[in-house]
Chain A
């Protein structure tokens, strides 16, 4: 028996949510959820777009789990999607397959999606492969944030013996605009690696006219003094990075996104 694996039963969860404009307003048009993936719909603040909050009811993800999440925002619709809590990836038995998470984001013509999940914490010895693919139609806008924390930072845990593969692709009109894969396996490297940082947040933006947004982001990030932050506009995609100690990166990311969006992050971020 393998004592490292608390559950022999591996989870295979899925959630799918779609928004579209009906009668001049963004409405929920499709919803599918299979445990441990659930979706909540808190009332948005007055004047704000509909919100979906993804929940992993198992409280965390273990080796071999397979999760799929899909978000679709139809033409001219506007939605905000977040996660209820930080996603925890538990230590996996060495023999087990990595857990895999597939995230599909589809943004229609003239639609706006704010994809704002909270941080993913990879525990020491955990093994995760996550692939996020965003397909943004012409005229569509996407603002996406991902933050990963290596080890349970609060208890001083380091990440020295696991696998984190976090892949991002942004497609527009069927063409691959930008892609990047973070792969941390075992110790983080010296030199150009993480330095003393244990957390990295990435904010990705896609718009028809990205230049002014990029300049706004650059101005906001110049104020981030407790993390190493910067932003670029590569192949028409805005990519901002915040690297540092986990609590500082979270605080700086919240400050940046709040300033950038000109409104508070969804309530789940503040609980």
Chain B
């Protein structure tokens, strides 16, 4: 009997070589522009990114993709995948999800392969957004949706906190305090995603996040690719 937790922890670990550390999802510009300057403002910023921004959309896409893959409904899955690729506010946010999603699928096909991963890779020519790729792997390897999605949004949050810790800079303990402060928010975001039955009703209210990502394209000094 395989332990699904072992795989999930491997895939969502910062050590899984998909290059997560090189993306800040606008945090670098949010710091530059003074929106994020300490732990409190970081928590406020990320709370909105989760509940009203990317977390909201990617959570809903993750759940829809997981359910389609679990049901072996590849037509619906591909529609969700197309939508996930198109639903990116800026070129850097698109790159962030496409590059990591492609890498995730490729590495997972090597280390934890499953015929449905190969088949999906073929159908989509390797082009897949990260939330859809992780949802696919979780579904075909029998990892429960709620656990996989909690893990995904935790990893997303922890990665942005790590970007902020390096950029603001903040102490390592402050980073973990921020992660602890966002525990309930991540849980709420998971619940909101599970409750979505129509992706047409999902949207974001985070134009400042989009603006930071737009500004990042021309930011003078940059550590991150987004």
A interface vs B, CB < 8 Å? 131, 165-167, 169, 175-185, 188-195, 197, 200, 218, 228, 230-235, 239, 241, 243
A-B contact count (CB 8 A): 114
Q: Does B221 contact A (CB under 8 A)?
A: no
Known: A232-B90, A233-B91, A241-B211. A190 touches B48 (CB 8 A): yes
Q: Could you say which residues of chain B place their CB within 8 Å of the CB of A188?
A: 205
CA distance A188 to B201 in the complex (A): 17
Which of B47, B49, B208, B215 has the most chain A CB within a 10 Å cutoff? Answer: B208
Question: Cβ of B89 and Cβ of A189 under 8 Å apart?
Answer: no
Q: Could you say which residues of chain B place their CB within 8 Å of the CB of A176?
A: 82-83, 86
Q: Does B150 contact A (CB under 8 A)?
A: no
**Residue contacts A-B, CB under 8 angstroms, 11 given:** A165-B203, A179-B86, A182-B203, A183-B205, A188-B205, A191-B46, A192-B53, A197-B207, A233-B91, A234-B94, A241-B214
Known: A176-B86, A235-B86, A239-B90. A193 touches B214 (CB 8 A): no
For the residues of A in contact with B, the DSSP-based class is strand
Q: 1/0 contact trace for B28-65 toward A, CB 8 Å?
A: 00100001000001001111110111000000000000
Question: Cβ of A191 and Cβ of B35 under 8 Å apart?
Answer: yes
Total residues of chain B contacting the partner, CB 8 A: 43
Q: Could you say which residues of chain B place their CB within 8 Å of the CB of A232?
A: 89-92, 213-214, 217
Q: How far is the CB of B189 from chain A (nearest CB, A)?
A: 13
Chain A's closest residue to B46 (CB) is A191
CA distance A239 to B207 in the complex (A): 13
Which of B87, B94, B204, B207 has the most chain A CB within a 10 Å cutoff? Answer: B207
Q: How far is the CB of A178 from chain B (nearest CB, A)?
A: 5
Known: A176-B82, A193-B206, A235-B86. A165 touches B201 (CB 8 A): yes
Chain A's closest residue to B209 (CB) is A192
Q: Does B200 contact A (CB under 8 A)?
A: yes
Q: How far is the CB of A264 from chain B (nearest CB, A)?
A: 27
Q: How far is the CB of A99 from chain B (nearest CB, A)?
A: 15
CA distance A234 to B214 in the complex (A): 11
CA distance A170 to B71 in the complex (A): 29
Q: Does B110 contact A (CB under 8 A)?
A: no
Q: Could you say which residues of chain A place their CB within 8 Å of the CB of B94?
A: 234-235
Q: Does B149 contact A (CB under 8 A)?
A: no
